[in-house]
Amino acid sequence: MDSAETWNKDAVAAIVAALKDAPGALLRILRRVQDDLGWVPPPALPMIAHGLNLSRAEVHGVASFYHDFRHTPPARNVIRLCRAESCQALGAEALARHVRSRLGVGFGGTTADRSFALEAVYCLGNCACSPAGVINGHLLGRLTPEAFDDALESLVRR
């Protein structure tokens, strides 16, 4: 079954109905859809447009403008690596090469089996412990390739 067919249309309809009269309704709806479903399915955009009496192009323009909105189902595990100056100065580039090689995807990519997504971020506020990363919301400081491998192995064993 195609992933576009597996999203919950009833959930999107309920979100649109609940928020359509709120100030800034479009962004609130898109954010709530992403929060509840984990992504904003492209086939949901016409539903949202209809509910708000907007054109599909207007809704698509907003949904595609903000890079925070996912348009594919999320990976089971999300890895974020800091790319800011402090982390760069303390080995983030070597760490990034290792992580990309280990996962087989670049920044913004998701493994074919949807197990892992790799995202670049530009400061995690953990500069004193650079290089830093986040795996499934868990902040890791002084991250080395070996520490990354250990963290990855613990995820795989679950």
* Chain segment 102-158, per-residue pLDDT in tens: 999 999 999 999 999 999 999 999 999 999 999 999 999 999 999 999 999 998 887
Please provide the average confidence, as pLDDT, over all residues in the chain.
Answer: 94
DSSP letter at 75 equals P
Measured CA to CA, the distance from residue 97 to residue 81 in angstroms comes to 11
H or E stretch including 80? strand 77-82
Candidates 3.40.1190.20, 3.40.30.10, 3.30.1330.30, 3.40.50.300; correct CATH number of 77-157? 3.40.30.10
**Mean pLDDT across 7-20:** 97
Q: Kindly compute the dihedral angle of the four CA atoms of residues 100, 105, 108, 114, in this order, to the nearest 10 degrees.
A: -120
CA distance 13 to 18: 9
What's the chain's Rg over C-alpha atoms?
18
> What phi and psi, each to the nearest 5 degrees, are found at residue 52?
-100, 0
Q: Does the CA dihedral 103-105-108-113 come out positive or negative?
A: negative
